Structures are given as structure tokens and as C-alpha cells.
Structure 1
Amino acid sequence: MGSAGLFGLGSPARAQIFAQSPDPAMTAVDVAQLMVPGPLGDCILGAPDAAVTMVEYASATCPHCAHFHITTLPVLKEKFIDRGHMRLVFREFPLNQLDLAAYIFARCTLGSQGRALGDQERYFVYLDALFRRQRDWTGADNPIVALARIAADVGYAQADLEQCLRDQAILDAVLYSRDRAAGRFGVNSTPTFFVNGRKATGTDADLEALIGTLL
């Protein structure tokens, strides 16, 4: 699918584009490989020398991902990230075309090439809005217009956005990173978390407790 096709998103865009089924039992991965960023670079919250690194793979249309970002992440941020104990490496894992469109919009907030260079604050502001307004834009008659409105709300110029959305390299890079996560690290659902290289399972409370044991 070319990036120009994103402008025609309708209800069929909710169809799955992710069909791989890696081994769900995989719990430990090669940490060095896990920490290799994708072609666009990683979007990161927290200090680079934090004792705990949590890698999150998330879908923008996933209700559980939205719950984590709205409810749990603020707690982890206050308790661990803001105090320099943990950093969050956020990675896009689109499950459908609407997901893909949302993440291309998010990448475009970083600049015309979607690369995670320098200040990433606007990316995370946009990401927060995506999850908080998830029901609104996923249920909109025209999701692209709804996503563009969110981008405008965080200060992204419409002309810059339209140019960025037509950059095939951004789309290809997001899909490459997703496919690498599936094939190499066994990611097959969202959200998926790796804490210091091990896949974390259980509840949000279990995740918080696990982080605490590593400090």
C-alpha cells in the first residue's frame, strides 16, 4: 500500500495487515539486537543511563494499549521515569491500515522525514492524544481528517503534514520495524513489553512490581 492510499481510508482500513504468528512462548531475547533502533530511530522517554529499559510495542487502535498509556504510564513516569530510574522505548506496531496511518502522522510530528532526532516531546504529546481520543478517531467517518485534527492540535502545520504523509520511506520503515519485531522477538500482540530484555507478562501492577525489583 502506498502512502497516498492513506488519504482514502474508510471502513476497510480496519482490516488486518499483520498475519504473522511468531512463537508466543518466547520470553527472553537478544538484548543487543532488541536495542537496535529501526530505520527512523527510537522515540524514548527517560534518561539514557537508567537502570531499567522497557521497550513497548503498541498498536494505536488497541484498547489495552490506550488503557496503559492513559492509566499506567503516568504512574510509571512519576515513579520511575522522571526520577531517572527507567526509560521507555516506544515502538510502533501497526496491526491494520488505520494503525499505520496514525503512526505515520505521529512520525510526521518529528519532521518531514519522521526521524527520532533531537526533541521528541511533540511525538509523545501526539501519542498521548491518540490514545486519549482513540474512540473518536477510530470511529470517525473520515479517520484521516480526525488524525489531522489531532496533529493540528499539537501544533503541526497542515502543509508540512501533507508532504510528510506522502513519504513512502516513512511507511516502509514503520512496517520494517514491525516485521522485525514479529520475526526476531516474537511480538504477536499488543501491548508487548520487554523489561531489560525479557518479555513481561501479567497485569499492569505486575509490570510496576517487576520494575521495582530491578532497582
Structure 2
Amino acid sequence: MAARCDSCHARPAPCGVRCRRRFPASGAFSLAFAGSALAQSAIAADVAKPVSLPDIAIGSAKAPVTITEYSSMSCPHCAAFGQNVFPMLRSKFIDTGKVRFVFREFPLDIKAAAASILARCAGKGDSEKYLSAVETLFKLQERLMAKAKDMLIYVGKLHGMTEQEVEACEQDQAQFDKLTADQQYAYKELKVTSTPTFFLNGVRLHGAMSFEELEARLKPLLKK
């Protein structure tokens, strides 16, 4: 936004009066830029802090860009991203060592929380198996929301679990408590208020993105 003229208050100044505040002094600009960079670095550090549940991460730990997504299994935009954007992101950037991708749960309701816990149990600490279960849950999202218990058992069986194992998984209160703690941290410290929310090297982005939009944001970061 252009600064207002000190005399006539128009934007930009048509009055011919010299506008002393049109451009910031170079020193002030440098300080503002440095402050912004420090704030972004601080957010990136907060995002990278260990949380209660083990991170679901794929891609090189040495990748120049880390994308952290906060997602809910009941969120249609999250499902659309997972099905339409993530495969291209993975092929072009994650599998080529340019991006490390971290998936974190931010359940918007109890059904989403139950689905997240199921994916954790199905994955057994393996990020690829976890994301495979998430992919299935997103594909069956409407049915999951309509008949949660039946669909959790169905998805669990698809990923090698017995009905008894699914039930035991969903009764693990300690896992739900950790999930709640991580969600509270994201809400209070990282200002995550909706899904999907992404962090690109500490830059917070709310809402769904197309692959083209995401790629446009990644390219400048990969040139650094």
C-alpha cells in the first residue's frame, strides 16, 4: 500500500507537495526486513519442535524446503489436496530430494480424531504405511463421516488389522490425549485455526492450494 501524502492525504500524492513518508528510509527498511526474517525463523523453529506423537515425515532430511501440513480427516479440502495435489508434489519435489513433507493431524471432530488414531495404528511407526491409510480414509471420507465405526473397521482390515485390533486401537486413551496435546500446541503456539494449514519453511499458509499455486511458492525457496 502506498504511503499517504503528508499534506493532502491522497494516495499516491497528486498535490505536488513533497511526501516525506512515501518511501521508508533504507535503515528502517533493513530493520523491518530483518525483523520479518527473524519472526519467520522463530515460527519455523516452533513448527520443527518435537510434539507428543511421532512426526509423519517423508523426503530427505537435507531438503532445502520443509512443508508441514495440518490436516483433518473430515476436511473435504484436505482430502482434495491429498488426492489431487500431493501425488504431483511427491513426484516432482519430495522424491527428488527438494522437499521434506511432514503430515500432522488437526482433527476438527471426534470422527476425524478416531480416523487419525486408526492411521497411526495401521502405520505402526512407518510413515509410508500411515500415509497409505490416510489416502484410503480420504477416498472414503463421505462414508467415514456417515458410518464411522463400520468404516474404521473396514479401513483397518484393508491395512492388515483385525476388528479386535481396531477396537483396541480406538480405546487407547493415551494416544487420544497425545493427539489433543499436539492440536492444542498447533492452535496456541502456531496459530493453526483451520485445515488445511501449511508451513513452508516457517511461512504459514491457510487454505487449499492447487499444485500450480504451491509450485509457484516453492520455486523461489528452491533458488535460495
Deviates more, 1:166-175 or 1:102-111: 102-111
Q: Does 1:85 find its partner at 2:85?
A: no
TM-score computed with the length of structure 2 as normaliser: 0.76
CA distances 1:84-140 after superposition (whole Å, capped 9, x unpaired) = 1101100000111111111111111133xxxx4xx3221111000111111121122
1:37-186 to 2 correspondences below 5 Å: 37-111=50-124, 116=125, 119-140=126-147, 143-186=148-191
Structure 2 unaligned segments of length 5 or more: list them.
1-38
Greater relative contact order (CA < 8 Å, ≥ 6 in sequence): 1
Task: State the Cα RMSD in Å.
Answer: 1.6
The structure with the largest helix share of the pair is 2
Q: Aligned with 1:39: secondary structure?
A: coil
2:130 counterpart letter in structure 1? Y
Deviation sequence 1:31-61 (CA, Å, 0-9, x none): 2221113212100121111111000000101
Equivalenced residue count is 181
Question: Separation in 2 of the partners of 1:181 and 1:106?
Answer: 20
Query: Are the aligned partners of 1:101 and 1:144 in contact in 2 as well (CA < 8 Å)?
Result: no
Contact 1:52 1:195 in 2 (8 A): yes
Counterpart of 1:63, as a letter, is P
- Give the distance between the partners of 1:189 and 1:165, measured in 2 at CA: 24
Bigger Cα Rg = 2
Q: What SS is found at the alignment partner of 2:123?
A: coil
Structure 2 residue 203 is the aligned partner of structure 1 residue 198: yes
- Structure 1 stretches lacking a partner, 5+ long: 1-26
**Runs of 4+ with >3 A deviation:** none
Q: TM-score, normalised by structure 1?
A: 0.79
Looking at structure 1, the residues matched to 220 and 161 of structure 2 have their Cα atoms a distance apart, in angstroms, of: 40
